[in-house]
Structure 1
Amino acid sequence: MILLGSIVNGLAIVGGSLAGTVLRNISEQTKDTVTKGIGIGVIVLGLQMALKTNSFILILISLCLGALLGEGLKIETGMNRFGLFLQNHFAKNNSNFAEGFVTSTLIFVIGSMGIIGAIQSGVSGNNQTLYTKAVMDGFMAVMLTASLGLGVLFSSFPVFIYQGLITLLASVFVSYVPQALLTILMAGISQIGGLLIIAIGLNIMKLTKIRVSNFLPSLIILIIFQSVQYLYF
């Protein structure tokens, strides 16, 4: 089944979120400490991804242009409104619902593992990378739900849709992309993703309030730049 990896990943988040609701009675101090631990881990992961760049100027340009586009489109505002809509319908007494939805969606969606895993699934039917990601996301969903509430559970839907679409597209189009270009694109996505993951980690630790969602267009801009550079330079 071509979408099995994405389905398992989504179910792992649901399972972790349900387990997290049971652990919500733990002390606020414990929640805060564990959440900050997750934040530290996310920052380290982001650093590992971001520091592998050989084209920092191109990454910086893409990041700035993406931020301009994201602010113009008000992506962060839109995601928060969607989260609030879900909160009003499914968790009226949970003030952290929107924050949980947006934060967990960004953590689970951004990063090279989901993209590479989805491409592997679409091209070869190998879901091992997505299974590994599912285990990681499931454990993280436990603590995110304990700290931020039921909104984390609903992040399983954008994760499934996002990875599922990549898998389906990969199964059709990846065979037409030169392997050298594919390697370059995956490296660039990992680098941009690493920077955004660092921002997410800082937000989780409540050190900053960066509108990370508004940087998402930078991924598309970088792909365009790298494709043009490969084809014409």
Structure 2
Amino acid sequence: MALYGTIVNGILVLIGSTLGLFFTKIPERYKETVMHGIGLAVLLIGLQMALSTEMIIVVLLSLLSGAVIGELLHLEEGLNRFGEWIGSKFIVRQGEFSVSQGFVTASLIFVVGAMAIIGALDGGIRGDHEVLITKGILDGFMALVLTTTFGFGVALSVVPVVVYQGTIALLATQIESWLPEAFLNGLIVELTAVGGLLIMAIGLNVLKITQIRIGNLLPSIVTVAFIYYIYQLF
């Protein structure tokens, strides 16, 4: 079953998020220090991913094009409205963070990265779900910690996790006949690097060093595929 690993990953995120909701009454000074720790760890994760790039020009052009598209579409505002709408349907105390912040932060951490892509490809091509199950365990613990501060929005990240990884897994059953292995491997590297920079932005926002509109940079995750393809042509 190509989707087995993805389903397990999603279930573990929901379990972690649910458990995290029971620990939202932690004193603020503890939560602040924990969030600083999370912010530093997220920065490290993003940096490790970003440094994997072999074509910095592809990463740069992807971010620039993604930023333009995101600003034109006002994605950040749309995500905030979506988060407010979801929040209005549930009686959940969010503290200083909105539902959309929890949703975007958790989605990027769980979705973007080599484990998500490689694990989904392994599940679709070889029926091997070990990578995604391992990722699911890590995501579950991260979801628990994130939910203690960001609240219910973290649980909503299960939707992009399942859709994104599930789509890759299903396409992977045919992907080897569509794309050369070398191209696919290179694309994964650059996609991971772009995602790493977005995750670094999350870390900086969590540490309150910056206020980057991450939602408006999300299209770069898509544009990197087109730019990498064009770059390969030349």
Shared fold by TM > 0.5? Answer: yes
Q: TM tier, shorter chain?
A: over 0.9
Equivalent positions of 1:49-60 (< 5 A) are 49-60=49-60
Q: Which amino acid in 2 is paired with 1:34? A: V
What is the CA-CA distance between 1:129 and the residue it aligns to? 1.3
Q: Partners of 2:158 and 2:192 in 1: how far apart?
A: 21
- 1:103 corresponds, among 102, 105, 125, to 105
8 Å CA contact 2:52–2:190 kept in 1: the answer is no
Q: Which amino acid in 1 is paired with 2:165? A: Q
Alignment correspondent of 1:33: 33
Aligned sequence identity (%) = 45
Alignment correspondent of 1:88: 88
8 Å CA contact 1:112–1:193 kept in 2: the answer is no
Q: Partners of 1:184 and 1:6 in 2: how far apart?
A: 23
* Cα deviation 1:5-31 (Å, max 9, x = unaligned): 111111111111111122122211111
8 Å CA contact 2:92–2:152 kept in 1: the answer is no
Instruction: Give structure 1 stretches of 5+ with no counterpart.
Output: none
8 Å CA contact 1:23–1:146 kept in 2: the answer is yes
Considering only aligned residues, what root-mean-square deviation do their CA atoms show, in Å?
1.6
Q: Which amino acid in 1 is paired with 2:173? A: S
Q: Partners of 2:213 and 2:195 in 1: how far apart?
A: 14
Alignment correspondent of 2:195: 193
Alignment correspondent of 2:72: 72
Q: Partners of 1:157 and 1:62 in 2: how far apart?
A: 24
- Deviating runs (4+, > 4 A) in structure 1? none
Q: Which amino acid in 1 is paired with 2:192? A: S
What is the CA-CA distance between 1:92 and the residue it aligns to? 5.7
8 Å CA contact 1:2–1:125 kept in 2: the answer is yes
Q: Which amino acid in 2 is paired with 1:10? A: G
Q: How many residues align?
A: 232
Name the SS of the counterpart of 1:83 in structure 2.
helix
What TM-score does the superposition give when structure 2 sets the normalisation length? 0.92
CA 15–80 in structure 1, closer or farther in 2 if over 3 Å, else same: same
What is the CA-CA distance between 1:143 and the residue it aligns to? 1.2
Q: Partners of 2:54 and 2:175 in 1: how far apart?
A: 27
Name the SS of the counterpart of 2:33 in structure 1.
helix
* Cα deviation 1:62-110 (Å, max 9, x = unaligned): 2111100111112222222211111111236545323222221222222
CA 111–7 in structure 1, closer or farther in 2 if over 3 Å, else same: same
Name the SS of the counterpart of 1:219 in structure 2.
helix
* Cα deviation 1:106-135 (Å, max 9, x = unaligned): 222222221221111111111111111111
Q: Which amino acid in 1 is paired with 2:70? A: G
Q: Partners of 2:181 and 2:86 in 1: how far apart?
A: 41
What TM-score does the superposition give when structure 1 sets the normalisation length? 0.93
